[in-house]
Amino acid sequence: MAKLYFSYAAMNAGKSTILLQASHNYHERGMRTLLYTSSLYAEMDKRSITSRIGISAAAELYSRDDDLFEQISIHVENGPLHCIFVDEAQFLTRDQVWQLARVADRLKLPVMCYGLRTDFQGKLFEGSAELLAIADVLREVRTICECGAKATMVIRMDERGNVLTDGDQVAIGRDVYVSLCRRHWEEHTGRWPSAGADSPKFAFSEDDDDEEHDA
């Protein structure tokens, strides 16, 4: 039975690399895949999914108004498909998550979504929230904070290194993002009293060599 998968992580955990490797595995077996990424990345990536280590593959772009079930159904009519891959799945709408669920349930195609769980304010993205609610399989892709602990949160910084706590949820290409553990995210966003009222620069204030390393 085909399933809807959601692999989630903080920034820079290698989600796109894992997606591209999985798609490559299908191609090695003579199978056809269909890749999607958000149209928010169109100007940067030019209709492709690109990983930090330099590998890439052509991809369809989706926007908030697209009916993904209808689009994928048309692709199926034009030839057999074996798996659907969706990068930047946090930008899906709730309706689009259900459309992908229908692809798994009715077209019998596995759908593998990869994306962030939360934004720089610690809030769930719309697409991620719905995927966490209805996906058949949830997988965490782990990365680490600078202290060595597992990173589950992300901060946004301006070009001077100031941690931003307000602004649009989506700000692609304008700011720098750093993945942190929950403890250091609290400290650097000012949610922990010892961080002070001012927006801090990004720098840990203590030695965390004894933290658990969990990559």
Centre a 10 Å sphere on the Cβ of residue 129 and count the other Cβ atoms it contains: 16
Domain total of the chain: 2
Shared-domain flag, residues 126 and 163: no
How confident is the model over 3-54, as pLDDT tens digits?
999 999 888 788 999 999 999 999 999 999 999 999 986 655 568 898 888 8
Say if residue 178 is in the same domain as residue 161: yes
- Which CATH number goes with the domain that contains 41? 3.40.50.300
CA distances in angstroms from 210 to 142, 149, 195, 202, listed in the order given = 19, 9, 21, 20
Let me know if 127 is exposed, middle or buried by CB neighbors in 10 A (0-12, 13-18, 19+): buried
Looking at the fold, whether 27 and 126 belong to one and the same domain comes out as: yes
**Regarding predicted confidence, which is higher, 198 or 40?**
40
Residue 44 resides in a domain: yes
Q: pTM value?
A: 0.79
Residue 161 sits in the same domain as residue 84: no
Same domain for 84 and 26?
A: yes
CA distance 38 to 154: 20
- Is 88 labeled as catalytic in the residue annotation? yes
Position 202 in a domain: no
pLDDT for 204 beyond 70: no
Find the angle CA(140)-CA(104)-CA(30) to the nearest 5 degrees: 85
200 located within any domain? no
Alpha-carbon gap, residue 124 to 16, rounded angstroms: 20
Rounded Cα distance between 1 and 62, Å, is 26
Task: Give the residue, 44 or 110, on which the prediction is more confident.
Answer: 110
Q: Which residues does 69 contact at the CB level (< 8 Å), separation at least 6? A: 99, 100, 102, 103, 106, 107
Q: Mark whether 167 and 117 lie in a shared domain.
A: no
Q: For residue 59, give its domain range.
A: 4-141
User: With bands split at pLDDT 50, 70 and 90, how would you rate the model's confidence at 169?
Assistant: low
Q: pLDDT tier at 91 (50, 70, 90 boundaries)?
A: very high
| 8 and 112 within one domain | yes
Angle between helices 94-106 and 68-77 (to 10 degrees): 30
Residue 123 and residue 24 share a domain:
yes
Q: How many other β-carbons are positioned within 10 Å of the β-carbon of residue 110?
A: 20
Domain boundary among 141, 169, 185: 141
Q: Which two tokens stand for residue 179?
A: 């993945």
**What 3 state SS string does 78-91 have?**
CCCCCEEEECCHHH
Residues 150 and 100 in one domain: no
Q: Would you say residue 210 lies in a domain?
A: no
Q: 180 and 102, same structural domain?
A: no
Annotated catalytic residue, options 28, 60, 77, 88: 88
Residues 184, 116 share a domain: no
In-domain check, residue 215? no
Say whether both 29 and 98 belong to one domain: yes
